[in-house]
Amino acid sequence: MTKRITVRYFAGFREKAGTDEEEVNIEVATAGDVFALLKHRHGSTEPLGHCKVAINDEMADWSSNVNDGDTVLLFPPVAGG
């Protein structure tokens, strides 16, 4: 089933995607499927295991379900401190 998802990119991902946000209509089930979009559409080579994801401002897992209307936030490797 096609879902309307808002994808937000941060730091290096924003630079790679050339935008901080885009709306997409895609067949996705999980947050991991959305990460694949970054790879295929924008050519990111960052391994998934180094990155993090949040859905609607809550930290999530790559296996978390993505629902129609969700905002998925893709975080490259964090480097606070």
Partner 1 sequence: MRISKDRIEPDKLRDELVDRGAGAFVSFEGWIRNQNEGQEVVRLEYEVYEPIAIKDGEKIIEEAKKKFPVLHADCVHRSGLLEIGECAVWVGVTSAHRDEAFAACRYIIDQVKVRLPIWKKEHYAKGHSGWVNCERCATHGHQHSSTVASG
Q: Which residues contact partner 1 (rule: CB under 8 A)?
A: 10-12, 49-50, 52, 54, 57-59, 73, 75-81
Residue 14 CB-density burial (10 A; 0-12 exposed, 13-18 middle, 19+ buried): middle
Residue 5 CB-density burial (10 A; 0-12 exposed, 13-18 middle, 19+ buried): buried
CB-wise, 53 or 66, nearer to partner 1? 53
User: Which of 78, 79, 76 is closest to 44 using CA atoms?
Assistant: 76
CB-wise, 33 or 46, nearer to partner 1? 46
Q: How far is the CB of 43 from partner 1 (least distance, A)?
A: 16
Q: How far is the CB of 27 from partner 1 (least distance, A)?
A: 27
CB-wise, 10 or 30, nearer to partner 1? 10
